[in-house]
Structure 1
Amino acid sequence: MAKDEKSGGFVETVKTVVYALLIAGVFRTLFFQPFWIPSGSMKDTLLIGDFLFVNKMSYGYSYASCPSLYLPRFGIDIDAKDICGWLGGDNERLFGSDPERGDIVVFRHPVTGRDFIKRLIGLPGDRIQVRNGLLYINDEPVQIERNGTFTEIAEPQGPQQLRPRCENGPVGTGGVCEKSRWTETLPNGVSHDVLNIAMQGSDNTRVYTVPAGHYFMMGDNRDNSSDSRVPNAAGGVGFVPFENLIGKANRVMFSSSGRSMLFFWTWRADRFFHKLK
C-alpha cells in the first residue's frame, strides 16, 4: 500500500470519529441525556444502579441542556456553563414548556452545577411545608395511604458502596432492611410512593413560599434526601430555577445492583424498560 493511501485512510478514520462525536454531542444536547442513579434518595421509585434517558425536549432548552463532564479521577470537570454559559442568567428557555407537579426531573444544582434527580413538588407561588412527616401544599395536607413495606438487603450498594438506612435499624450486613411505604397523592392527582425511616428534622419544616420562576424538589425517600427543604447555602438544593431544568425522566432502561453495569449477574431484569410514575 502506498504511503499516500495509508495517510488518506488515517485521515478518513479521524474524520469518522470526529463526525460521530459531533453527532453524539448534538443528540445529547437536544434530545436525550443518559443518567445513572448514584444514590437512594428516590427509592423505591428509582434504585441505585438504575439507568435511564432524560427527555430534554420536555421543558425546552437553556444553558443546562448543554452536556457536562465530571471525571474527578482524571481531573476533568467541564460544566454546562463552561460551554453554554452565554445562554444562562435570564431564567428563560427556548421552546420552554412548564413542568407539572409530580414530574421526575433531572436538573443542575443551583450552586455546584452537578446533576440531581428529584420529584417536582412545589410550583411557583406554592406554600410548601412538612409537619410530622406529612407534606402540606398551600396549607392543605396531601392524601396518603399505607402501601406495605419496602425491603432490601442491608449491604453496600452501587459504585459508591452506600449502605441503606433502615426503619428497623440498625441492621447488620446481610440482614433485611425495612422502610414503611406510603402512597402519596398530589393535588393534581399524581400518585407515587414515598418511604419513611425515622422522625427527624426534615419531617418538620418552616413554610417555604416558592418564588416566581422556581420549583420545589423533594426525594421520594423522604428521610434520606438532600432537596429543597434545605437551602443551597446550607448544602441542600433550595429552590431550583426554571433554567436549571434538564429534562423529565419517564422510564428506566436498564438496571444493575452491582458496582458495575458489566457485572451481568447483578442485573435487575424486572426493571428493564420499567415505566416511572
Structure 2
Amino acid sequence: MAGYFSIFLVLLTLTSGLIWLIDHLVYAPKRQARIALAQGANSAMLDDETIAQIAPQPAIAETAQSIFPMIAAITIFRSFFYEPFQIPSGSMMPTLLVGDFILVEKFAYGVKDPVWRTQLMDVSDPERGDAVVFKYPLDTNVDFIKRVIGLPGDTVVYRNKQLYIKPKCEAEQTETSGLNCNEFNKLETQLINQDEFFSEGVAEARLTENLANVSHDILINPARPEQKMAYYQQPGTRIDEWVVPQDSYFVMGDNRDNSKDGRFWGFVDKEKLVGKAVFIWMSFEFEQDPDSILPSWVPTGVRFERLGSIQ
C-alpha cells in the first residue's frame, strides 16, 4: 500500500504541476491581454470581481495552482527524507508496540526514486542493530520492519533461543564492531523482567541483548519451541545457521518467538531497503473492553511515554 501511495503522490504532483505550468505559460497571458484591453476601454480601474468575469481562471487551473506547492513539498519530504509508518503487529515488541507510529529515515542507506526505487545515490550501509524497514522479499508490495542481525559475509546461528555471530573480517583483523573475528560470539543477554508481557497466557521473558555495540530489549517465550522445521534452509549450512550473501542482510524481530523473519524466508537484498526507523512520534492504545461498543480500530489512549528515539 505504501508503494501505491507513493506512486499516487508522484502522479498527483506531476499532474497538478503540469496543469499549473500550461495555464501559466499559455492561458494566463491571454487572460492578461483581455484584462488589458478591457482596462484600456475604461477610464476607471477594474475591480477584482469585474476582472474575474472578463478573464476567469478555470477551476482546474486554480485548484492545481493552490495544491501544487503543498503536494510537491509532501512528495519530496516523504520520498527522500522521512516517511511515517504504523506498526501493525507485535513482531518487534518490546521495542515497538502495536499502535506505535514511527518515522523512517529514507536517505539513511541511499537516495532512491519514489516510483521505480532505483538507487540514485549511495549514503551508507546498514549497521548491525539497526531497526530497518524493507520490502518483504516474498511480497514487495508489503513493508516489513525488523532488526539487522547479520551483515554481508557474517555467519549467524540461532540455537536454543540464543544468538551466535561469526563476523566477516579482513585479513589479520582480530575484532570488528565489538565481535571477535574467526569465532562464534555468543551474544550476552540479561533478564529484565518476566511479568510485563504475556502470550497465550504465558509470561514472556524480557531481556537486554548486547548486539555488538548496540543494546536493545527482546522477548523470549520459554514455553514455545523453536520452529526449526519451518526455517529457511540455506544450501551447505545447518538448519539453524545462515551465511549472509554479499549485498544482503539477515534480520530478526525483537519478539523472537512471534516474528516471521529471516529465519523463515532468508535474506533482505540491499535494494529492498526502505530506510531506518528512527523515531516514535505517536503511540495509541487499542485496549477495548469485551463489551465496548467502540470499533477495535478506535484508540483508547495515548502512550506519551513512548515518544522518542528508537533504540
Say yes or no: TM over 0.5.
yes
- TM-superposed CA distance for 1:276, in Å, is 1.6
1:211 to 245, 252, 255: 245
- Letter of the structure 2 residue corresponding to residue 225 of structure 1: S
1:48-197 map, 5 Å: 48-62=98-112, 66=114, 83-84=115-116, 87=118, 94-113=121-140, 114-138=142-166, 139-149=184-194, 151-152=196-197, 165-166=199-200, 168-169=201-202, 178-187=203-212, 189-197=213-221
1:225 to 245, 259, 263: 259
As a proportion of its length, which structure holds more helix? 2
Number of aligned positions between the proteins: 224
- Letter of the structure 2 residue corresponding to residue 122 of structure 1: G
- Letter of the structure 2 residue corresponding to residue 194 of structure 1: I
Aligned to 2:26: none
Using structure 2 for the length normalisation, give the TM-score.
0.66
Q: Do the aligned partners of 1:105 and 1:247 also contact (CA within 8 Å) in 2?
A: yes
Aligned to 2:41: none
Higher relative contact order (CA 8 A, sep 6+): 1
Identity %: 38
- TM-superposed CA distance for 1:224, in Å, is 0.3
Return closer, same or farther for 1:224/1:49 CA change in 2, 3 Å cut-off.
Answer: same
Using structure 1 for the length normalisation, give the TM-score.
0.74
- TM-superposed CA distance for 1:9, in Å, is 6.0
Partner Cα separation in structure 1 for residue 120 and residue 63 of structure 2: 37
Q: Do the aligned partners of 1:133 and 1:199 also contact (CA within 8 Å) in 2?
A: no
Partner Cα separation in structure 2 for residue 4 and residue 18 of structure 1: 25
Whether 1:271 and 2:303 are equivalent positions in the alignment is no
Equivalent position SS for 2:104:
strand
Equivalent position SS for 1:12:
helix
Q: Do the aligned partners of 1:34 and 1:51 also contact (CA within 8 Å) in 2?
A: yes
Q: Do the aligned partners of 2:206 and 2:218 also contact (CA within 8 Å) in 1?
A: yes
Whether 1:30 and 2:100 are equivalent positions in the alignment is no
1:239-254 map, 5 Å: 239-254=267-282
Return closer, same or farther for 1:118/1:14 CA change in 2, 3 Å cut-off.
Answer: same
Partner Cα separation in structure 2 for residue 46 and residue 117 of structure 1: 10
Whether 1:12 and 2:62 are equivalent positions in the alignment is yes
- TM-superposed CA distance for 1:32, in Å, is 0.4
Task: State the Cα RMSD in Å.
Answer: 2.3
- TM-superposed CA distance for 1:25, in Å, is 1.1
Equivalent position SS for 2:91:
coil
Larger radius of gyration: 2
- Letter of the structure 1 residue corresponding to residue 188 of structure 2: Q
Equivalent position SS for 2:134:
strand
- Letter of the structure 1 residue corresponding to residue 139 of structure 2: T
- TM-superposed CA distance for 1:5, in Å, is 6.4
- TM-superposed CA distance for 1:230, in Å, is 0.8
2:89 to 22, 39, 49: 39
CA deviation profile, 1:61-102 (whole Å, cap 9, x unmatched): 235xx2xxxxxxxxxxxxxxxx216x2xxxx66223111100
Partner Cα separation in structure 2 for residue 202 and residue 62 of structure 1: 36
Q: Do the aligned partners of 1:130 and 1:136 also contact (CA within 8 Å) in 2?
A: yes
Partner Cα separation in structure 2 for residue 143 and residue 107 of structure 1: 27
- Letter of the structure 2 residue corresponding to residue 206 of structure 1: D
Return closer, same or farther for 1:179/1:14 CA change in 2, 3 Å cut-off.
Answer: same
Aligned to 1:157: none
- TM-superposed CA distance for 1:12, in Å, is 2.2
Partner Cα separation in structure 2 for residue 4 and residue 256 of structure 1: 53
- Letter of the structure 1 residue corresponding to residue 255 of structure 2: N
Aligned to 1:160: none
- Letter of the structure 2 residue corresponding to residue 100 of structure 1: E
- TM-superposed CA distance for 1:249, in Å, is 1.2
Aligned to 1:234: none
Which 4+ residue blocks in structure 1 deviate beyond 3 angstroms? Answer: 1-10, 202-205
Partner Cα separation in structure 2 for residue 210 and residue 62 of structure 1: 24
Structure 2: gaps spanning 5 or more residues: 1-48, 167-183, 232-238, 287-295
Q: Do the aligned partners of 1:62 and 1:243 also contact (CA within 8 Å) in 2?
A: no
